[in-house]
């Protein structure tokens, strides 16, 4: 008798034995249909063996062993084992995650009758690379058969994509395949066209959640069958079954969308590095504003730094960045005169303006208008968050709280303001100011990926005068008519309770600035702030990423934040609060009992969004200076959690959290 060990998509830390006499070791990685309870499930074979430790009458027979689709390769399985181990996520769901949804259904796979049509794009030839680009390509190519991590830090518009294209060309020339990751779905159509235009005869697919289910599965099969040389995709493409990888590129490597924010919380960039290592190939991380983690790795010599310091397009220069003094007192959402004049000027010239509103989930903080004192937690020095309804200040780190102060604790003034509220009506006031202007508002809420492609076309065609939006608008686009970027409501990030807020703000502002003046008209960037002397802005007006990053790293070092420590977060959620509270408390006690003295264990707190839908949420942060120690503790701890968590509570361990 032959038995198979099967991975199933269940939140349990086990594999399941079935009998399957036709199975051979070659079937490892293949899909099977198996009975489960009264149901059937699709699983993946991870082992084939001639005995089982279970009693025979407990072992059921597999229903179908599918051999019509290529199995998950050894390399992918290795990556999945690593992912499961590193992110403390059960192996079953991790393995199933690597399959496209249509291949996880219990019916037989049927190839789509009609394939989605490839867009016809005019073939383009490569421009003559400039010296910096040439140098970057040569450096990387000299080490094309080694595992090395290259951090390509190139200012916006410096021609990073041209560097990627050249590296891809050379990799294809060696008969190898390429995997390119981009942050978001809305970026893929344009970059896809750019690659297609350059490599018209090469098999290429894009993989992201916007592709229809059948089509996506078929593309996945094409990749697994070796028909595809270039895979372009979002974070989920990190598991693309390429067997002859020669190069991995992560564009905009700082982007937070590489981190999956629910379920299995993996970071595609970090997994890319593992794949690079397994295959002994270069991994190129590109960004104008690398994440501080990557920057620190480059400074330490773990990554190789290559810089592109000039804009590549003939005649294009970096825009001037000017700060505009915002009036703190007025809570009324009005645009400052400078911005109004600047927009007016663009409207007359037929150019485009972009208003960037920074308003992603920043919690409001309390500040003194006289001495700029900020209410901070006496225990952990992070900003206290204003909770208006309860009239309290709360630390989201350790749960310290007190009533909202009425006097400044430094100068006793009563002149206190809450930063981070207001200004949301900007969009409406724009329309009042210029009733005839064509205003396009775009943010992640209003955005549907399908219409985005058309909206981009509209912007290119000059059918939009003013763009208003959040981060989504500033990612990697190249709008030649756009010459003005104005950023408002940015200050709350400077004093946020989240230690990553200033990194995000700097990145966003520099990326936003990078949208202006990419054609031959010079760009202008206006930033409204009450704190023009803040070091972040001093670095920003000089377009000096490095100065900012080095300063910020010093601060992180001082406070012992990542990358100078490693963090993990236990996130729990439940429809009722009290079992959740009890579970979190017990989890904390359990970790304490493991007595890892070097691990700092914070209190159980509610995250900024403490209730989503009908679910309460609580979290527990731990940090440690040693990654292996933290990993060891986490795996012991998660064994406990798996056996002790009540059914009413959902929990997940978020390793290297980026929002806590």
| Residues binding Zn ion (CB under 5 A) | 368, 370-371, 373, 377, 379-380, 395, 397-398, 400, 408, 410-411, 413
Query: Least Å distance between CB 247 and ligand ADP?
Result: 17
Cα 442 to Cα 353, 378, 439, 445: the distances in Å are 13, 40, 10, 8
Nearer to Zn ion, 106 or 381 (CB): 381
Q: Tell me how far, at minimum, the Cβ of 58 lies from ligand ADP, in Å.
A: 57
In the list ligand ADP, Zn ion, none, the entry touching 157 (Cβ below 5 to 8 angstroms by class) is: ligand ADP
Contacting residue, 130, 193, 209, 369, with ligand ADP by CB under 6 A: 130
- What, of ligand ADP, Zn ion, none, does residue 40 touch, CB below 5 to 8 Å by kind? none
**DSSP-based three-state secondary structure for 307:** strand
Tokens of 278: 């397994």
Scanning 15-23, 160-168, 213-221, 419-427 for contacts with ligand ADP by CB under 6 A, the matching segment is: 160-168
395, interface contact from Zn ion, ligand ADP, none, CB < 5-8 Å by kind: Zn ion
Query: Toward ligand ADP, which CB reaches closer, 101 or 127?
Result: 127
**With respect to ligand ADP, which residue has the nearer C-beta, 170 or 372?**
170
**Residue 156 to residue 310: CA distance in whole angstroms:** 9
Dist CA 401 CA 647 (whole Å): 31
Q: Distances from the Cα of 384 to the Cαs of 270, 370, 388, 575, in angstroms? A: 32, 19, 12, 27
Q: What is the 3-state secondary structure (H, E, C) of 553-594?
A: HHHHHHHCCCCCCEEEEEEEEECCHHHHHHHHHHHHHHHHHC
The CB-of-304 to ligand ADP minimum distance in angstroms stands at: 18
> By CB under 6 A, is residue 154 in contact with ligand ADP?
yes
The span of 122-130, 179-187, 240-248, 630-638 binding ligand ADP (CB under 6 A) equals 122-130
Question: What is the number of alpha carbons within 13 Å of residue 613 lying toward its C-beta?
Answer: 4
419-478 binders of ligand ADP (CB under 6 A) = 478
Residues 512 and 552: their CA atoms lie apart, in Å, by: 20
Among residues 160, 198, 475, 617, which is the contact residue for ligand ADP, using CB under 6 A? 160
Helices (H), 495-544: 501-514, 535-541
* Residue that has been written with the tokens 């810089």 in this structure: 307
One residue of 46, 98, 129, 658 binding ligand ADP per CB under 6 A: 129
Sequence-separated (6 or more) residues with CB below 8 Å from residue 304: 139, 148, 149, 150, 151, 298
Name the one range near ligand ADP by CB under 6 A: 25-33, 152-160, 198-206, 210-218. 152-160
Pick the closer one to ligand ADP by CB: 162 or 270: 162
Q: Looking at 83, 84, 88, 156, which residue binds ligand ADP (CB under 6 A)? A: 156
Strands (E), 172-303: 177-181, 204-207, 230-233, 245-250, 282-287
**Binding partner selected for residue 353 from ligand ADP, Zn ion, none, CB under the kind-specific 5 to 8 Å limit:** none
Cβ atoms < 10 Å from Cβ of 508: 21
Which of 234, 545, 493, 202 lies closest to 361 in space, CA to CA? 493
Cβ-based nearer residue to Zn ion, 185 or 366: 366
Residue 159: name its binding partner from ligand ADP, Zn ion, none (Cβ under 5 to 8 Å by kind): ligand ADP
Structure-token pair, residue 58: 């407990």
Sequential DSSP letters for 331-347: -S----HHHHHHHHHHH
Interface of this chain with ligand ADP, residues 540 to 559, rule: CB under 6 A:
none
Residues 313-332 that bind ligand ADP (CB under 6 A): 313
Q: Please, what is the minimum distance in Å from the beta carbon of residue 469 to ligand ADP?
A: 19
162 near ligand ADP, rule: CB under 6 A: yes
Out of ligand ADP, Zn ion, none, what residue 156 binds, judged by CB under 5 to 8 A for its kind, is ligand ADP
- In whole angstroms, the minimum distance from the beta carbon of 129 to ligand ADP comes to 5
Q: Which does 379 bind (CB under 5 to 8 A by kind): Zn ion, ligand ADP, none?
A: Zn ion
Pick between residue 249 and residue 549 the one whose CB is nearest to ligand ADP.
Answer: 249
Taking CB within 5 to 8 Å according to partner kind, which of Zn ion, ligand ADP, none is near residue 405?
Answer: none
Q: Cα(601)–Cα(588) distance, rounded to whole angstroms?
A: 8
By C-beta, is 100 or 286 nearer to ligand ADP? 286
CA atoms within 13 A of residue 111's CA, in its CB half-sphere: 10
Q: Which is nearer to ligand ADP, 90 or 523 (CB)?
A: 523
How far is 578 from 584, CA to CA, in rounded Å?
10
Q: Residues 552, 494: contact at Cβ < 8 Å?
A: no
Query: Is the Cβ–Cβ distance between 7 and 91 less than 8 Å?
Result: yes
Residues that bind ligand ADP (CB under 6 A): 127-130, 133, 154, 156-162, 312-313, 478
């Amino acid at each position: 008798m032959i038995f198979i060990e099967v991975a199933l998509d269940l939140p349990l830390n086990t594999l399941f034995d079935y009998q399957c006499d036709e199975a051979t070791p070659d079937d490892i990685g293949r899909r099977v249909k198996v009975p489960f309870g009264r149901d059937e499930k699709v699983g993946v074979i991870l082992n084939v063996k001639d005995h089982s430790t279970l009693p025979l009458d407990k072992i059921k027979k597999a229903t179908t062993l599918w051999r019509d689709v290529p199995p998950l390769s050894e390399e992918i399985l290795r990556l999945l084992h690593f992912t499961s181990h590193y992110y403390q996520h059960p192996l079953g769901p991790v393995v199933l995650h690597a399959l496209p949804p249509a291949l996880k259904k219990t019916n037989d796979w049927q190839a789509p009758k009609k394939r989605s049509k490839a867009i016809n794009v005019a073939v383009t030839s490569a421009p003559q690379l400039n010296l910096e680009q040439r140098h970057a390509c040569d450096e990387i190519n000299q080490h094309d058969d080694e595992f090395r991590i290259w951090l390509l830090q190139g200012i916006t518009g410096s021609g990073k994509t041209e560097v990627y294209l050249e590296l891809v060309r050379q990799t294809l020339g060696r008969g190898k395949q390429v995997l390119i990751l981009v942050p978001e779905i809305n970026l893929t159509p344009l970059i896809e066209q750019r690659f297609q235009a350059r490599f018209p005869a090469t098999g290429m697919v894009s993989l992201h959640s916007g592709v229809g289910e059948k089509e996506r599965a078929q593309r996945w099969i094409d990749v697994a069958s070796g028909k595809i040389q270039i895979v372009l995709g979002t974070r989920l493409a990190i598991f693309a079954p390429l067997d002859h990888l020669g190069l991995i590129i992560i564009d905009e490597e700082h982007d937070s969308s590489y981190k999956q924010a629910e379920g299995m919380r993996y970071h595609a960039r970090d997994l890319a590095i593992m794949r690079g290592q397994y295959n002994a190939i270069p991994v190129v991380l590109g960004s104008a504003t690398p994440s501080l983690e990557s920057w620190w790795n480059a400074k330490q010599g773990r990554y190789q730094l290559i810089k592109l310091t000039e804009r590549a397009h003939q005649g294009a220069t970096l825009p001037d960045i000017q700060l505009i003094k915002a009036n703190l007192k007025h809570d009324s959402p009005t645009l400052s005169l400078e911005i109004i004049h600047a927009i007016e000027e663009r409207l007359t010239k037929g150019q485009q303006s972009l208003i960037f509103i920074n308003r992603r989930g920043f919690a409001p903080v309390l500040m003194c208008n006289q001495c700029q004192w900020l209410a901070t937690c006496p225990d952990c020095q992070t900003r206290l968050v204003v909770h208006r309804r309860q009239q309290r200040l709360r630390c989201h780190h350790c749960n310290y709280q007190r009533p909202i102060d009425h006097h400044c604790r430094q100068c006793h003034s009563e002149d206190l303001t809450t930063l981070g509220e207001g200004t949301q009506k900007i969009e409406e006031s724009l329309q009042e100011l210029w009733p005839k202007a064509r205003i396009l508002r775009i943010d992640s809420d209003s955005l549907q990926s399908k219409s985005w492609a058309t909206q981009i076309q509209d912007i290119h065609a000059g059918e939009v005068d003013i763009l208003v939006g959040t981060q989504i608008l500033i990612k990697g686009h190249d709008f030649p008519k756009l010459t003005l970027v104005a950023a408002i409501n940015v200050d709350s990030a400077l004093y946020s309770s989240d230690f990553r807020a200033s990194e995000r703000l700097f990145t966003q502002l520099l990326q936003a600035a990078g949208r202006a003046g990419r054609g031959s008209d010079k760009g202008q960037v206006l930033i409204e702030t009450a704190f023009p002397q803040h070091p972040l802005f001093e670095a920003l007006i000089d377009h000096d990423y490095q100065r900012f990053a080095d300063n910020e790293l010093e601060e992180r070092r001082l406070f012992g934040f990542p990358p100078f420590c490693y963090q993990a977060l236990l996130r729990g959620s439940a429809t009722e609060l009290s079992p959740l509270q009890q579970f979190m408390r017990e989890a904390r006690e359990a970790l304490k009992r493991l007595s890892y003295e070097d691990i700092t264990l914070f209190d159980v707190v509610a995250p900024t969004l403490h209730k989503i839908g009908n679910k309460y949420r609580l979290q527990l942060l731990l940090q440690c200076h040693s990654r292996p120690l933290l990993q060891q503790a986490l795996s012991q701890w998660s064994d406990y959690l798996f056996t002790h968590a009540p059914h009413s509570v959902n929990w997940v361990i978020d390793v290297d959290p980026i929002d806590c």
